[in-house]
Amino acid sequence: MSDIRFDDRVAIVTGAGGGIGRCHALELARRGAKVVINDLGGSMDGTGGNSAAAEAVVKEIEAMGGEAFANGSSVADEAGVQKMINDTMEKWGRIDIIVANAGILRDKSFGKMTVQDIDLVLAVHLRGTFLPVHAAWNIMRDQNYGRIVVTTSSTGLYGNFGQANYGAAKLGVVGMMNTLKIEGAKNNIRINAVCPIAATRMTEGLMSEEALAQLKPEYVTPGVMNLVKDDAPTGMILSAGAGAFSMARIVETEGVFVGHGDALTAEAVAAKWDQITDVSTTKPAFKSGGEHGQNIFMAVAEAMKA
């Protein structure tokens, strides 16, 4: 198997001043990419900011003979993100890879969560994924090449106490991915999601020391390299942690036609609940919303034949 290389590729990694983002950026550089190290340098809850962390990663890359520059824009700030894109194009003339990794936490039980807690987390995770991808989209389209990774979470896919804001944002980026995989296909733009399990500043105090020792952030990065390589998949959710990898999918049962008109009542749905929820009939993952609709219409068509 040939080595995975990114020579002559230009990558932007957000939240790359530490943790998982730093590991992604360093590995891309080791494999030949020129890398923009984006990091606001704020605290875990998104407050404050300085460029020291991003500059330190740039020095690490330069020490290994690579090329990089630091950008301190907030990913939630439209003007700042556009400046990052403009500076990248001015310096290197193209953008091939975006790894949207920046994140913050504002964990609270839902009853205690403020609107500000919701807005800030959505701004960084969801808007902060949308803005850099959107700003670079036409560049990737015109060059007929783009590789994008969004960062989801088990909280978004499955839930976690005290993280309603974070979970909403993290499933939101999957929804964005599912549309962009379709829109980008004709221009060789491929987009995937990584669901990392790693010991970072954001997980301190949530796990035992023993568990944290196995969850090194660099153990996620090899999976991400496979999501941004030339022959990457598209529309995939890759779970990664402690050296193990799996694929997450949104699936649906075959379903059943209940009725039309007066025959379609809540009680009629209840009577067929076991068939509706029969996981033994789970279908392969749909590739688009249209396929989801077709599944429903097929159930209706089958019933009409009877």
Residue 284 carries which DSSP code? Answer: P
List the one residue out of 291, 280, 289, 290 whose CA is nearest residue 254.
Answer: 280
Residue 22's identity, in one-letter code, is R
Is 166 one of the catalytic residues? yes
- In degrees, to the nearest 5, what angle opens at C-alpha 66 toward C-alphas 60 and 72? 60
Asked if 294 and 252 count as a contact pair (C-beta separation under 8 A), the reply is no
Residue 132's identity, in one-letter code, is P
CA distance 252 to 189: 27
Asked if 86 and 131 count as a contact pair (C-beta separation under 8 A), the reply is no
CA distance 200 to 222: 17
Write down the catalytic residue from 145, 158, 166, 219: 166
Q: Starting at the earlier edge strand, list the strands of the sheet with 34-38.
A: 68-71, 34-38, 10-14, 97-100, 146-151, 189-197, 237-241, 244-248
Active site residues: 166
